[in-house]
Chain A
Amino acid sequence: MNNIIQFENVSKSFGDLKVLNKLNLEVKDGEKLALIGPSGSGKTTILRILMTLETIDDGFVSVNGEYLWHEKNNGKIIPASENHLHKMRDHIGMVFQQFNLFPHLTAIENVEQPQILIKKRSKPEAKDKAEELFNLIGLNDKKDHYPHELSGGQQQRVAIARALAMEPKIMLFDEVTSALDPELVDEVLTVLRKLASDTDTTMLTVTHEMNFAREFADRVLFFDAGQIVESGKPENIFANPEKRRTKEFLKKFINNVN
């Protein structure tokens, strides 16, 4: 299987703070990945670099066999142009912690507008696609509501539908349930589980829901200080972590939860 995402010696700093230090990471096409780790370890930064919301200082990121932040020009490798980034963004979709639905549009318009503007679909095509996705997220009866008329969990499900409508090869989920009241977490995770089992979309999920990570992921990555400390199948990472830092993190985590 090919690597759909590859980080090679990627470094990233914010001022004096080195968030990623020569990070190497490979993700296979169709893989479902869970990123776990302490706060500030750089998990969000990795997703934001992939979504082109954050630049890199050094190294190379490849997506779908092409450089993301660079392009080839007459055999030379130069920083990516806006055109190149635009083309590459087509492969990637992202769901944010704060939903970021467009508040001036109804739920279904949120899902239709990007299809019409970016995918150049006709209005009926966009509507069909949106309705299919509202079925998937179980929100058919709320599709004409405005975001502020929906609960957090419902808004997040619409945000997932909006990203899915663009049919990206790679979906990024950044703590998509952390802003939700506990009783609303499950309805969103259910959608993610369904996606994981029904589609071959590559999924990268940053999460603090360890039980979810365990069932959802093919592979779990434990991050600390911008480095991958340990990576492996969920059953191994959660049951028999090899590294001390992973053990400590999981122990603290499980103690906090229970």
Chain B
Amino acid sequence: MEWNWDHAYAVLPQLLKGLVITIEATIVASLIAYILGLAIAIFKMSKSKLVRVSLYWMTEFVRRTPILVQLYVVFYVLPDFGIFLEAFTCGVIVLGIHFSTYTSEVFRAGIDNVSKGQWEAAKSLNYNPYQAWKHVILPQAIPPMIPPLANYLITMFKETPLLAFITVVELFRAADQYSNSYYTYLEPMTLVGVFFLIVSIPSAMIAMKLEKKFKPIKVTR
């Protein structure tokens, strides 16, 4: 089998369209993962044991089952119950929820990382809880969260080909479609790999820079 530049050029427009979908999916899914993750972290600090325990098991459940299975369930099984979602919507929701169980740990570790003495100092100066969060806790909690959150963004980017299994024509499926029509996998799949590298390597380098700058917290669990 030999590299054929004609195939490489011909597949390029489809791949670029796929790349746009991949990036869109990454952005929307990560927004869901961040916002939901923060909400989970806050509710996991709830005074109610019921809330804490149910959240614990919900997040364990989501984390311990494969993303692919979750995608299939949401895309192919929910319609049986009258819930129809577009493939893209399904995909970003499942990815977002899956990764929110991880980002919530980052948020929680970041908040735990601020010592109790900081809360007490704020209270002794008569800060109300809102002022304490805004001016004392979050400014200390957020910087060390940035590197691990950036790393999850890169991980989510790499997981987007899973959406191909529920018919989303992202980068990987775009290449696959071409391969199936022209019976050549070499050029499309090589280019897919190259595209992923072109995006992930600089992102990983930025994440590493961030790690140097912000001294990330250790997420233990």
Residues of chain A at the chain B interface (Cβ within 8 Å): 51-53, 86, 89-90, 92-94, 96, 98, 100-104, 113-114, 117-118, 162-163, 166
Contacts and interface: CB of A to CB of B under 8 A. Distances in A.
Contacts of B46: none
The list of the 9 closest CB pairs from A to B, nearest first, reads A100-B121, A100-B117, A114-B125, A94-B124, A89-B126, A104-B139, A118-B126, A51-B124, A98-B117
16 contacts: A51-B124, A52-B123, A53-B120, A53-B124, A100-B117, A100-B120, A101-B121, A102-B118, A102-B136, A104-B140, A114-B126, A117-B127, A118-B131, A162-B125, A163-B124, A166-B126
Contacts of B120: 51, 53, 96, 100
B110 to A, nearest CB: 13
B39 to A, nearest CB: 24
Given A100-B117, A100-B118, A104-B140, A118 B124 contact: no
Contacts of B115: 100
Contacts of B131: 117-118
Given A114-B125, A163-B124, 19 more contacts: A53-B123, A53-B124, A86-B128, A89-B124, A96-B117, A96-B121, A96-B124, A100-B115, A100-B117, A101-B121, A102-B121, A102-B140, A104-B139, A104-B140, A113-B135, A118-B125, A118-B126, A163-B125, A166-B125
Given A103-B140, A117-B135, A90 B126 contact: yes
A114 B127 contact: yes
Nearest to A51: B124
Contacts of A53: 120, 123-124
Contacts of B140: 102-104
B124 A93 contact: yes
Contacts of A114: 125-127
Given A103-B140, A104-B140, A118 B127 contact: yes
Nearest to A172: B124
> Which of B117, B125, B127, B131 is the most central at the interface, judged by chain A CB atoms within 10 Å of its CB?
B125
A121 B127 CA distance: 15
Interface in B101-156: 115, 117-118, 120-121, 123-128, 131, 135-136, 139-140
Nearest to B121: A100
B114 to A, nearest CB: 9
> Which of A104, A118, A163, A166 is the most central at the interface, judged by chain B CB atoms within 10 Å of its CB?
A104
A248 to B, nearest CB: 33
